[in-house]
Structures are given as C-alpha cells and as structure tokens.
Amino acid sequence: MAKSLRLRYYADRAEFVGWTMNDQESRMEIIRFGKLLHERGLTAATDGNISVRLNGDSVLTTPTCISKGMMAPDDLVVVDMNGRKISGYRDVTSEIVMHMTVYRMRPDINAVVHAHPPTATGFAACGLALDQALVSEVLLSLGSIPLASYATPGTSELSEALEPFIPDHDAILMANHGVVTYGRDLTQAYMNMETVEHFARIALVVRQIGCEHPLAAEQVSKLHEIRQRIQHYKAELPRRA
Ligand SMILES: [Zn+2]
C-alpha cells in the first residue's frame, strides 16, 4: 500500500476504534522503532519488545510472538499498570513484568525497549558489564552500563535482578539474555539501545587490539558533571511519542 494510502487507512481506523491522538501516535512510533530494531539487527525473529506509557494508568506494548519489523497498529496491546490486558486481540509480551517494574520505579520514564543486540549480548553472556570508561560520549549519554545477574525470561525474578540498577541507569545488560533500555520517550529509549550496541562493538575492538587505555578518574568526574547538566536540559525538552 502506498504511504499516503496507508496513513489514511490508519487515520480512518483510529477513528473507527476510538484511539486517541496520543494512542495513535504511540502505535505508529512503536511500529517505526520496531522496524529499526529489526533492520539494524538488534533483534531477530520474534525477539524483543517495546512499550510506551500512554497516560497515568495504561501502557501500550508489543504482543508476544511477532517480528518487531512486521507489526501493524492493530497488533499492539494496551495493559493496565499491573500488566493486565485492557484491549487488543493478541497476547501481551511475556516480558511485560520487566517493563512495568521500570515504569513503577522510574516515574520519569515513558518508554522501554528490550532487545538482544549481538555484541552487547555477547558481553552479557561472558558475564562482563560495559562499565569501563573507554569512550567519553558514552559516559555523557549513559554513564556506565551494568550487568544484572541471570534470571529466567518472563519471570518476576528477572525484574528482581534488574531492580538494584534501575534507579541510576538507563541501560542494563541482562546476563545470558540481552539488554533493556528506557527513556523519557521512545526515541530516547531506542537511541540508548543503539548506543549500548555501538559501545559494545568499540569495547570488543579495544579488547582485540589489546591495549586498553581507560579515562582517568578526574576525567570521568568532569564528564559526570557535564552529564548531570545534559540530563537536566533533556528533562526540560518536550516529550515525543
Ligand atoms: Zn529477551
């Protein structure tokens, strides 16, 4: 279907099913970033999941068992703040507990992305955090990326393993599993995932070259100060979907 026809179809569909503007925009954004996750190799097959906080008492999320690169707006599911389905014909993602834990612990967060990017997941499978001060820009955007211990996917134990890191980090490696990132909007949550995988590739090259040269503590603390200012500035920006 041509793009203009497709947009018209979804506009009509939104009116028919009673989606609000916020709901409709969030659906289109999840589909857009789902395609990016798939096309850039951050997920494969039906891996990964995405969610967006719609308002105070509901969250829009991807369903289980679907490629994140091949979703339509109708495929998405709305859940309450306990992760129970409110609407949608598909079943909710099995990782909904993890998403809801992030929203519960971080009122500033409005979007969560979970994926299995190959290089970062490789570090997680080796039991290695991405917490070395190797690249200044990563320290500015994410600080360090810790490693949470392994727990079975889709269980509350997985959320418990993440909980100690959620307050102070926007990206976490999950041992022998993958990565979760989040942000004040979906653009930020997605970009955090890209940053994690990009940094993992750099960290891998550093290991291959074999002469690590991390930043000194004083250099790290200067970057930390700048990061605080950037975080403050970002918090003032208008939120996208
Ligand atoms: Zn997973």
Q: If you measure from the C-alpha of residue 8 to the centroid of ligand 1, how many angstroms do you get, rounded to a whole number? A: 34
Protein residues with C-beta less than 5 angstroms from the ion ligand 1: 178
Pick the CATH number of 9-236 from 1.20.120.610, 3.40.640.10, 3.20.20.70, 3.40.225.10: 3.40.225.10
Say what the pTM is. 0.90
Cα of 116 vs centre of ligand 1, distance in Å, is 6
Distance from C-alpha of 159 to C-alpha of 148, rounded to nearest angstrom: 10
Give tens-digit pLDDT for 92-144: 999 999 999 999 999 999 999 999 999 999 999 999 999 999 999 999 999 99
Cβ 134 vs Cβ 216: under 8 Å? no
In degrees, rounded to 5, the angle at the alpha carbon of residue 39 between the alpha carbons of residues 168 and 102 is 20
Distance from residue 117's CA to the centre of ligand 1 (Å): 10
Confidence of residue 232 (pLDDT cuts 50, 70, 90): confident
